[in-house]
């Protein structure tokens, strides 16, 4: 395992109050240790330089039931130069986004006078579908590389962080939006209330914000602990979202459950109350299983430890029998999995990833070299640890040749199994 460097104070802050309701009664229930930043890949030349590392403790608020990590790493550090995540590398995500846009276009007549804004628009993977339909768009994203890639494909993009201040400027310069999209971004912002107020600011009175985020329930039920890392400050239940949005005069009027990212929610938020049964039923279900109370999270830490023990035993056993092991997906969640489980180049030779911006770099902490997927065919390792397990079906189908030649995958969650 590579050396890590404890965080310089100026780069992060330990929170003592709830990010949503400001309660001081946060109850910690999982400690993943001091970990490097999951999306901060390491250059070969820097492999002996200690990496910035920060505590990763998860807590629940007993008052508004929001699950959150207690450390806030500055966004400039998290999303700065060379942020490697480009949405367009996943065909499944591209199809998912296109279907989302087509459904919105069917529900709401939009044309040349309309405006669709996406917060964290990345490389334009979603908005491109509106551009194709002749609907004006504005993407907002702080990461330089992905924002430039979006511009290149004709998606107008503001290269900035979305804050309440920026929301006011956007409203003044571009007018309010008919639709605001925000996929996998609400959990990433430190000023949770400012961000939600910003959404209200840029939304038309009859507009709708369509927001997606990983859902807390499958995270807990399927032990998807590796989706916890410093970029993800919050882990949402519908109950916690309801408290948060109502505080800003916004209402969760509809909810859909999605399979993407290990189980996600898509909420339809409007500045007027017209709550559909989908929301009422899910809120009641969460209450029935106790997802709104700290007691629900008590056994989680033990289940995470069991997964770590089981995966370690499996990998150590295979390694000691002389089998070669690689990994698939230099995902942020992969960094949490490897670092928490103490897996590194002593057992796993390399990781493959289709994202050419990640190839040639090393995974944070574990320092697995990132190579192109063809390396699985060329080297035919005996086993491949599936770090991007959320895309398992897609990846297993792509790897038919490797599997036909005898290659096997290890799927780590909810408990390690070989396929
Ligand atoms: P992926 C990302 O997390 C980034 P990550 C971010 N932190 C976030 O919030 C969540 O999503 C929701 C590769 N791959 O997207 C691409 C292939 O190589 O699940 C990715 O590097 N071949 C903003 O990074 C990685 O795997 C393929 O066929 O944990 C998957 O990472 C496919 C489908 C993917 O999430």
pLDDT tens-digit map of 262-314: 899 999 999 999 999 999 999 999 999 999 999 999 999 999 999 999 999 99
The answer to whether the CB of 256 is under 6 A from ligand 1 is no
pLDDT at 10: 86
Residue 36's Cα: distance from chain center in Å? 16
The answer to whether the CB of 184 is under 6 A from ligand 1 is yes
Dist. CA 192–CA 189, nearest whole Å: 6
Mutate to test the pocket of ligand 1, among 78, 83, 85, 264 (most ligand atoms within 8 A of CB): 85
329 CA: nearest ligand 1 atom: 26
What tens digit of pLDDT does each residue of 120-158 get? 999 999 999 999 999 999 999 988 889 999 999 999 999
231 CA: nearest ligand 1 atom: 7
Q: Which residue has the higher pLDDT, 260 or 172?
A: 172
pLDDT at 1: 45
Of 270, 219, 217, give the one whose Cα is nearest residue 239.
217
User: Is the pLDDT confidence value at 391 over 60?
Assistant: yes
- The two three-digit tokens of residue 163, written as one number: 């804050």
Do 183 and 126 touch, CB atoms closer than 8 A?
Answer: yes
- The two three-digit tokens of residue 35, written as one number: 């970990």
Mutate to test the pocket of ligand 1, among 370, 391, 392, 396 (most ligand atoms within 8 A of CB): 391
Do 327 and 362 touch, CB atoms closer than 8 A?
Answer: no
**Atom 15 (ligand 1) nearest CA:** 331
Confidence of residue 2 (pLDDT cuts 50, 70, 90): very low
Mean pLDDT of the chain: 95
pLDDT at 321: 98
The answer to whether the CB of 51 is under 6 A from ligand 1 is no
- Cite the DSSP H helix spans in 117-246: 127-132, 144-152, 164-174, 192-202, 216-221, 238-246
Q: How far is the CA of 331 from the centre of ligand 1 (A)?
A: 5
Dist. CA 83–CA 265, nearest whole Å: 25
What tens digit of pLDDT does each residue of 39-89 get? 999 999 999 999 999 999 999 999 999 999 999 999 888 876 666 677 777
């Amino acid at each position: 395992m590579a050396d890590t460097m404890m965080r310089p104070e100026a780069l992060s802050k330990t929170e003592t109050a709830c990010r949503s309701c400001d309660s001081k009664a946060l109850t910690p229930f999982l400690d993943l240790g001091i970990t490097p930043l999951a999306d901060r890949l390491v250059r070969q030349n820097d492999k002996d330089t200690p990496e910035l590392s920060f505590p990763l403790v998860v807590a629940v608020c007993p008052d508004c039931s929001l699950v959150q990590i207690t450390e806030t790493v500055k966004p400039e550090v998290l999303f700065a130069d060379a942020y490697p995540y480009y949405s367009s590398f996943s065909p499944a995500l591209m199809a998912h986004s296109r279907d989302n846009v087509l459904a919105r276009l069917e529900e709401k007549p939009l044309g040349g006078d309309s405006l669709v804004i996406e917060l964290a628009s990345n490389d334009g993977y979603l908005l491109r579908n509106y551009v194709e339909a002749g609907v004006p768009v504005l993407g907002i994203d702080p990461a330089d590389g992905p924002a430039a890639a979006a511009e290149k494909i004709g998606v107008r993009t503001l290269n900035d962080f979305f804050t309440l201040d920026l929301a006011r400027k956007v409203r003044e310069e571009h007018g309010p939006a008919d639709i605001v999209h925000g996929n996998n971004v609400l959990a990433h912002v430190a000023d949770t209330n400012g961000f939600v107020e910003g959404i209200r600011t840029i939304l038309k009175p009859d507009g709708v914000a369509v927001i997606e985020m990983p859902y807390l329930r499958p995270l807990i039920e399927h032990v998807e602990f590796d989706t916890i890392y410093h970029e993800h400050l919050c882990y949402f239940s519908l109950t916690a979202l309801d408290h948060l949005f109502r505080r800003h005069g916004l209402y969760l009027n509809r909810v859909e459950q999605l399979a993407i990212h290990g189980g996600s929610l898509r909420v339809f938020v409007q500045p007027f109350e017209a709550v559909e049964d989908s929301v009422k039923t899910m809120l009641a279900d969460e209450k029935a299983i106790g997802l709104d109370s700290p007691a629900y999270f008590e056994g989680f830490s033990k289940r995470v430890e069991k997964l770590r023990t089981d995966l370690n035993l499996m990998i150590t056993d295979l390694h000691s029998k002389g089998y070669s092991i690689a990994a698939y997906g230099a995902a942020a969640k992969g960094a949490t999995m490897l670092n928490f489980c103490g897996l590194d180049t002593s057992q796993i030779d390399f990781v493959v990833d289709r994202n050419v911006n990640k190839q040639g770099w090393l995974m944070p902490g574990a320092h697995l070299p990132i190579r192109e997927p063809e390396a699985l065919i060329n080297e035919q390792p005996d086993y491949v640890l599936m770090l991007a397990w959320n895309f398992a079906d897609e990846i297993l189908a792509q790897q038919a040749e490797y599997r036909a030649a005898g290659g096997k995958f290890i799927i780590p969650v909810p408990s390690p199994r070989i396929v």
